[in-house]
Structure 1
Amino acid sequence: MISRAGKESAHDEWLTVADVIAEVRVPRSTFYRWRQLGIGPRSVKLPNGDVRIRRSWLDDWLRNLAEEAA
């Protein structure tokens, strides 16, 4: 997880798009649309074209959505 200082811990795993869409239960196309619009979780495109999302980035994004909905 990311500490208050903004550093990622050694246990902050990299998730695949498949991991993320399974967890948030949306189609792959929705994830990529969110990414294109800049409203999805922070992600990194690797040199081979694969996309990865840190666990802490996904958790933060979900937490922010919940706070906005409250």
Structure 2
Amino acid sequence: MSDCCPNTSAKTKQICPECGSACNSVSMSTLYHQVRFLENQALITDSYYFCPAKTCSVGYFSNTGSTVPKQHLRTY
């Protein structure tokens, strides 16, 4: 029974490097839609996570250390 479900290697949760909140993964298409135009052109393809903490300055962050500040988002 243990081999009935596929093993996914991508994590769906990660800890925010700024505030320590538990954050959910998001797709690159979500990221391109939520980040303002000029800033979204510099995004590096990676696994990104959304930080829901209202007091945190980070909107999204990646496994490789890239961050998108909330001031670069369309809405926050």
Regarding TM over 0.5, the answer is: no
TM bracket, shorter-chain basis: 0.3 to 0.5
TM-score of the aligned structures, taking structure 2 as reference length: 0.36
Task: Say which structure, 1 or 2, has more relative contact order (CA 8 Å, 6+ apart).
Answer: 1
Structure ranking higher in helix proportion: 1
Structure ranking higher in strand proportion: 2
